[in-house]
Amino acid sequence: TYNINADTMAGAVAAALGASRLFLLTDVAGVLDKQGNLLTDLRPADVKRLQEDGSIYGGMIPKLETCIQAVDAGCEAAVILDGRVPHAMLIEIFTQEGAGTLIRAA
């Protein structure tokens, strides 16, 4: 048997399909800083810095690695959203503010 991370698989499929955006739903608002504030827009260098200073840890690390890989493979952006929020994906798609953390290429 294999244990394949669902986020990693979703990122690989999004990249293979040439998707414009990858959505990863989780149980937090998105990527949070050390004070618990939502970070709405990140680049790969930001992710590296936040990981080095300990702001990003645990299960958020593979999510962000997947997002960066998807963006590097051609997705325009990846988004980490709170799946508990009703209509989070629609809010992300149809509003300027979005609903989570957007990860874009450098």
| pLDDT tens digit sequence for 8-58 | 999 999 999 999 999 999 999 999 999 999 999 999 999 999 999 999 999
Task: Compute how many other C-beta atoms are within 10 angstroms of the C-beta atom of residue 52.
Answer: 9
Classify residue 47 by burial, with Cβ atoms within 10 Å: 0-12, 13-18, 19+: buried
CATH number at 97 reads 3.40.1160.10
Domain interval for residue 83: 6-104
In a domain, 37, yes or no: yes
| pLDDT tens digit sequence for 78-93 | 999 999 999 999 999 9
In a domain, 97, yes or no: yes
Count of domains observed in the chain? 1
In a domain, 1, yes or no: no
Contact (Cβ atoms closer than 8 angstroms) between residue 21 and residue 75: yes
In a domain, 91, yes or no: yes
Whole-number Å distance between alpha carbons of 28 and 84:
8
